[in-house]
Chains A and B, each alone.
Chain A
């Protein structure tokens, strides 16, 4: 080969190499009808623990159907972005877990398979599913964008020994009582209530509950944001005041975004915690089940006009199928498998959540105090977060505004109705 030919050959190889490098191979979606890719959300103590819990079930599914499921457990901090990227690119997993509050937002992208009556029938039937859970699986009036997998609700967890030491005999049923008890419990380096102050999602969930109790709404019937109404201002101020005014929450909680509040409760640094299905998490942190009590989340002692008797959102995890899947039948049979009575019992027992299907609640594990409290809340006093496409934006904007208010409270700046309203007005202006 002459030098000239060698040059041309080299250039051609380089050009080809650079072109192929641009192609990439980001397509995770299973091309073969015998495989599926599944993104699971982080439900257990760690990503690794979740893999260990899920793998035997996936093996069982492979044995039954011959379909091999590759699971990746995605941390909560990344899940929404990864789902959005998958929706945008049309590449990624076949089946995913989504936080049920995101259902309508993700539904709006048009990337998820719609569970109309026929599709619901294919995964076991609509009637089996707990109605409250199904209501949190997509915008009203449209076929659900997902199927409920795990059901949860907020409860009040309290440290029995701390309560006994302070002479408190029963958990608080009103916020006023909670503040009063909290003051008694905030002594000697210990605090009354632990709060995940720097976690926008946690903040937004509480924003919803408090707003309901004050008679507020975050979106009007036309889906327009109504963030800075007087009811919402009072609701947010009430929550921030646990740190700012009542001083029953350690100012350090304004930095918490990695579940440190659960650790503080488990280690006895805080006597109360508002959380969803905390039991399994507390167990991994060596807090025995008899060391804490579980009670419904309190209400206002005298609710204002229009105040609702709501003390939790309908929390939970849904399972969705991407339209871009090349194995839709396999994906639906996997959804059917995961929502079957047997799997619902096994997985919800492990995670301390409740089955999302009516037919799987008979196991004695679901009648423990924690599960009974969750069950009662879900049936009587829980409501789904607004199922509007802007829901995830609401969580981010209002949750972040609350994070900033906690930071103000922690650094000694006054938190007033005016400062709360200003933050909420700013957040609302960013919605479009």
Chain B
């Protein structure tokens, strides 16, 4: 990993206590002074513990219990079952295990496609709007609208649009344009996956657009001028100037979008009303159904912990690979 920052630090290093080097004029006096940084850190640590660490530990603990409605009021009475919940939910020969695996694949494909399309739209719009022109501000605001709308309002509108008999989508496709003879279903069956994907991309791409637009502000105009003088066309400039300069933004953006999409609960929950069709059974909804709808919080927690571990591994691998590449380039 990185080794390039040691030299300047070495120069700034303060002499150790007891060393023969010169002692600074004012030294910290006793423990009272050293308390201040901890006190300043305390709120962040307390919040971090309360919001992240403690719920996570509780979640892991829940996954080791048979926590059903009989014990939910007093957890101390819930039988400790060790890894039984994991065995039951991850057993790929059982109905629950098969469904979890199916849900995992659906979620993975959904996340990759959603992030891919959102990024493509985002970069296209950001590049098109890079140079000033009349009406640019209006277009920027317009493009950001899906991101500014409350999730519930936006997705429920989509669910109205996608209704088979009364939805606007079928009205346009079937009644007005006559493209299809029969009214297709968009919220059940195979199409439900694509409906979910469209809504997800529609919601996420403005964020990609926003980040990439901000990233483009930092690309010096001279680079484009130099490239133009060298005879580089639009695609060459995009490939050799824009994308390499956006690399740091993309690294974070793609990871964040992937994690958000993989864990997305609101979109499928509102679009399908709590129980998604199996073709669009995202893992977040699957876990919700397994814990809240069947009151089996132990199994739900086991699935959540497995999901957490998977996402940790993916994130760590992603950061490791991208950092290594960056170091190679450095």
Contacts and interface: CB of A to CB of B under 8 A. Distances in A.
Contacts of A430: 95-96, 290, 294
A281 interface: no
A426 B40 contact: no
A110 B73 contact: yes
A258 B277 CA distance: 17
B40 A411 contact: no
A14 B296 contact: no
Contacts of A17: 43
B257 to A, nearest CB: 29
Given A11-B43, A255-B163, A108 B69 contact: yes
Interface in B42-75: 42-43, 46-47, 50, 66, 68-70, 72-74
Contacts of A19: 46
Interface in B155-210: 163-165, 185, 187-190
B70 A250 contact: no
Contacts of B293: 393, 396, 400
A418 to B, nearest CB: 16
A17 to B, nearest CB: 7
B164 A255 contact: yes
A14 B42 contact: yes
A77 to B, nearest CB: 7
A111 B74 CA distance: 10
B36 interface: yes
B73 A429 contact: no
B274 A12 contact: no
Nearest to B98: A426
B40 A392 contact: no
A333 interface: no
Interface in A26-76: none
A145 interface: no
B39 interface: yes
Given A15-B39, A255-B185, A77 B274 contact: yes
Contact of B295 (A77, A105, A257, A258): A105
A255 B187 contact: yes
B83 to A, nearest CB: 15
Contacts of B274: 77
Interface in A1-36: 4, 7-8, 10-12, 14-15, 17-19, 21-22
Interface stretch (A82-90, A120-128, A206-214, A301-309): A82-90
Contact of B165 (A250, A431, A432): A250
A432 B188 contact: no
Contacts, number: 120
Instruction: Tell me which of B33, B68, B299 has the highest count of chain A C-beta atoms within 10 A of its own C-beta.
Output: B68
Interface residues of A, number: 51
Contacts of B74: 110
B264 interface: no
B95 A426 contact: yes
Contacts of B42: 11, 14-15, 18
Nearest to B297: A88
A18 B46 contact: yes
Given A84-B295, A396-B293, A108 B70 contact: yes
A77 B187 CA distance: 19
A393 to B, nearest CB: 5
B145 interface: no
A389 B70 contact: yes
Interface in B268-292: 273-275, 277-278, 289-290, 292
Contacts of B10: none
B277 A407 contact: yes
Interface string A91-128: 00000000000000110111100000000000000000
Contacts of B47: 18, 21-22
A410 interface: yes
Given A7-B40, A108-B70, A200-B275, A397 B50 contact: no
Interface in B198-239: none
A254 interface: yes
Interface in B80-104: 88, 94-96, 99
Contact of A11 (B39, B50, B69, B72): B39
Most chain-B CB neighbours within 10 Å: which of A200, A254, A430?
A430
A430 B293 CA distance: 11
Interface of A: 4, 7-8, 10-12, 14-15, 17-19, 21-22, 77, 81, 84, 87-88, 90, 105-106, 108-111, 198, 200, 250-252, 254-255, 257-258, 389, 392-393, 396-397, 400, 403-404, 407, 410-411, 425-426, 429-432
Given A251-B164, A252-B164, 12 more contacts: A18-B50, A88-B73, A255-B188, A396-B293, A407-B189, A410-B188, A411-B190, A426-B99, A429-B96, A430-B95, A431-B294, A432-B296
11 contacts: A15-B46, A105-B69, A108-B70, A110-B70, A258-B273, A389-B70, A393-B295, A400-B289, A407-B277, A411-B189, A432-B66
